[in-house]
Amino acid sequence: MFASNRFNLLIAGSACVLILNGCSFSDSSGSISDSIGSISDSSSSFSGGSTKYESDVEDYTYAYLKSTSGTTDYADFQNGLSDIAKKRGISDWESDDHTYKGIGKALKKARIEGVGYDTYKKNFANSDTTKMEQIQQGYDSKD
Protein backbone atom coordinates (compact mmCIF):
# COMPACT_ATOMS: atom_id res chain seq x y z
CA MET A 1 0.00 0.00 0.00
CA PHE A 2 2.84 2.40 0.83
CA ALA A 3 4.54 1.70 -2.53
CA SER A 4 1.27 2.33 -4.36
CA ASN A 5 0.86 5.77 -2.71
CA ARG A 6 4.46 6.65 -3.57
CA PHE A 7 3.87 5.66 -7.19
CA ASN A 8 0.70 7.79 -7.41
CA LEU A 9 2.53 10.74 -5.85
CA LEU A 10 5.36 10.31 -8.36
CA ILE A 11 2.91 10.27 -11.28
CA ALA A 12 1.08 13.36 -9.96
CA GLY A 13 4.37 15.22 -9.43
CA SER A 14 5.54 14.35 -12.95
CA ALA A 15 2.26 15.62 -14.40
CA CYS A 16 2.72 18.94 -12.57
CA VAL A 17 6.26 19.30 -13.92
CA LEU A 18 5.04 18.63 -17.47
CA ILE A 19 2.26 21.18 -17.14
CA LEU A 20 4.58 23.84 -15.71
CA ASN A 21 7.10 23.25 -18.49
CA GLY A 22 4.47 23.57 -21.21
CA CYS A 23 5.27 25.41 -24.42
CA SER A 24 2.97 28.39 -23.97
CA PHE A 25 4.51 29.34 -20.61
CA SER A 26 8.10 29.03 -21.79
CA ASP A 27 7.33 30.85 -25.04
CA SER A 28 5.74 33.80 -23.27
CA SER A 29 8.46 34.01 -20.65
CA GLY A 30 11.05 33.93 -23.42
CA SER A 31 9.49 36.88 -25.19
CA ILE A 32 9.36 38.87 -21.95
CA SER A 33 13.03 38.24 -21.25
CA ASP A 34 13.86 39.18 -24.84
CA SER A 35 12.01 42.48 -24.39
CA ILE A 36 13.78 43.19 -21.10
CA GLY A 37 17.10 42.42 -22.79
CA SER A 38 16.33 44.93 -25.55
CA ILE A 39 15.43 47.63 -23.03
CA SER A 40 18.58 46.87 -21.06
CA ASP A 41 20.74 47.04 -24.19
CA SER A 42 19.32 50.39 -25.26
CA SER A 43 19.65 51.95 -21.81
CA SER A 44 23.20 50.70 -21.37
CA SER A 45 24.25 52.12 -24.72
CA PHE A 46 22.81 55.49 -23.70
CA SER A 47 24.44 55.45 -20.29
CA GLY A 48 27.65 54.21 -21.88
CA GLY A 49 27.72 57.30 -24.10
CA SER A 50 27.20 59.55 -21.10
CA THR A 51 29.89 57.67 -19.20
CA LYS A 52 32.34 58.08 -22.07
CA TYR A 53 31.53 61.78 -22.31
CA GLU A 54 32.00 62.22 -18.57
CA SER A 55 35.31 60.38 -18.77
CA ASP A 56 36.44 62.60 -21.68
CA VAL A 57 35.53 65.69 -19.65
CA GLU A 58 37.46 64.32 -16.68
CA ASP A 59 40.57 63.62 -18.78
CA TYR A 60 40.41 67.00 -20.51
CA THR A 61 39.88 68.90 -17.26
CA TYR A 62 42.69 67.03 -15.54
CA ALA A 63 45.10 67.83 -18.38
CA TYR A 64 43.92 71.44 -18.36
CA LEU A 65 44.47 71.74 -14.61
CA LYS A 66 47.96 70.28 -14.88
CA SER A 67 48.97 72.48 -17.82
CA THR A 68 47.68 75.86 -16.64
CA SER A 69 50.05 76.23 -13.67
CA GLY A 70 47.91 78.76 -11.87
CA THR A 71 46.74 80.82 -14.82
CA THR A 72 43.28 79.88 -15.95
CA ASP A 73 41.63 81.00 -19.16
CA TYR A 74 38.05 79.76 -18.75
CA ALA A 75 37.09 80.70 -22.32
CA ASP A 76 39.71 78.27 -23.69
CA PHE A 77 38.58 75.64 -21.22
CA GLN A 78 34.94 76.06 -22.25
CA ASN A 79 35.84 75.87 -25.94
CA GLY A 80 37.52 72.55 -25.26
CA LEU A 81 34.45 71.25 -23.42
CA SER A 82 32.28 72.34 -26.33
CA ASP A 83 34.49 70.40 -28.76
CA ILE A 84 34.30 67.26 -26.61
CA ALA A 85 30.52 67.54 -26.37
CA LYS A 86 30.16 67.91 -30.15
CA LYS A 87 32.24 64.78 -30.72
CA ARG A 88 29.97 62.86 -28.32
CA GLY A 89 26.75 64.25 -29.83
CA ILE A 90 25.86 66.42 -26.85
CA SER A 91 24.33 69.70 -27.93
CA ASP A 92 23.94 71.46 -24.57
CA TRP A 93 27.03 70.59 -22.55
CA GLU A 94 26.44 73.55 -20.22
CA SER A 95 23.25 71.89 -18.93
CA ASP A 96 24.53 68.31 -18.91
CA ASP A 97 25.25 67.05 -15.39
CA HIS A 98 27.93 64.70 -16.76
CA THR A 99 29.99 67.76 -17.69
CA TYR A 100 30.18 68.90 -14.09
CA LYS A 101 30.57 65.43 -12.59
CA GLY A 102 33.54 64.92 -14.92
CA ILE A 103 35.02 68.21 -13.79
CA GLY A 104 34.59 67.16 -10.15
CA LYS A 105 36.34 63.85 -10.80
CA ALA A 106 39.24 65.70 -12.42
CA LEU A 107 39.56 68.07 -9.47
CA LYS A 108 39.80 65.10 -7.15
CA LYS A 109 42.26 63.30 -9.44
CA ALA A 110 44.42 66.45 -9.47
CA ARG A 111 44.23 66.45 -5.65
CA ILE A 112 42.90 69.96 -5.50
CA GLU A 113 41.47 70.69 -2.07
CA GLY A 114 40.45 73.50 0.24
CA VAL A 115 40.27 77.05 -1.05
CA GLY A 116 41.70 76.07 -4.43
CA TYR A 117 38.96 73.47 -4.88
CA ASP A 118 36.25 75.89 -3.81
CA THR A 119 37.55 78.51 -6.25
CA TYR A 120 37.70 76.11 -9.19
CA LYS A 121 34.28 74.70 -8.35
CA LYS A 122 32.72 78.16 -8.22
CA ASN A 123 34.44 79.33 -11.42
CA PHE A 124 33.79 76.18 -13.46
CA ALA A 125 30.12 76.25 -12.40
CA ASN A 126 29.82 80.02 -12.95
CA SER A 127 28.54 80.24 -9.35
CA ASP A 128 25.49 78.09 -10.23
CA THR A 129 24.61 76.11 -7.09
CA THR A 130 23.18 73.15 -9.03
CA LYS A 131 26.32 72.85 -11.14
CA MET A 132 28.48 73.21 -8.03
CA GLU A 133 26.53 70.33 -6.46
CA GLN A 134 27.17 68.21 -9.57
CA ILE A 135 30.89 68.99 -9.36
CA GLN A 136 30.78 67.94 -5.72
CA GLN A 137 29.04 64.68 -6.68
CA GLY A 138 31.79 63.93 -9.17
CA TYR A 139 34.45 64.85 -6.59
CA ASP A 140 32.84 62.59 -3.98
CA SER A 141 32.23 59.65 -6.33
CA LYS A 142 34.17 56.45 -5.85
CA ASP A 143 34.99 56.04 -9.57
More confident residue, 13 or 43: 13
Residues 6+ apart with CB under 8 A from 85: 53, 91, 93, 96, 99
Q: Quote the Cα angle for 128-130-132, to 5°.
A: 70
130 or 32: which leads in pLDDT:
130
Exposure on the CB side of residue 105, measured as CA atoms within 13 A: 19
Round the average pLDDT of the chain to a whole number and report it: 75
Q: In which domain, by residue range, is 13 found?
A: 2-140
Of 54, 49, 140, 131, give the one whose Cα is nearest residue 99. 54
State residue 16's pLDDT score. Answer: 45
**Statement: residue 109 has pLDDT above 50:** yes
Task: Give the burial class of 70: count Cβ atoms within 10 A of its Cβ; 0-12 exposed, 13-18 middle, 19 or more buried.
Answer: exposed
Q: How many domains does the chain have?
A: 1
**pLDDT tens across 44-103, in order?**
334 456 789 999 999 999 999 988 765 667 888 899 999 999 999 999 999 999 999 999
User: Does the pLDDT of residue 41 top 60, yes or no?
Assistant: no
| Helices within the chain (DSSP H only) | 2-20, 23-68, 74-87, 97-109, 114-124, 129-140
Quick one: DSSP state of residue 95? G
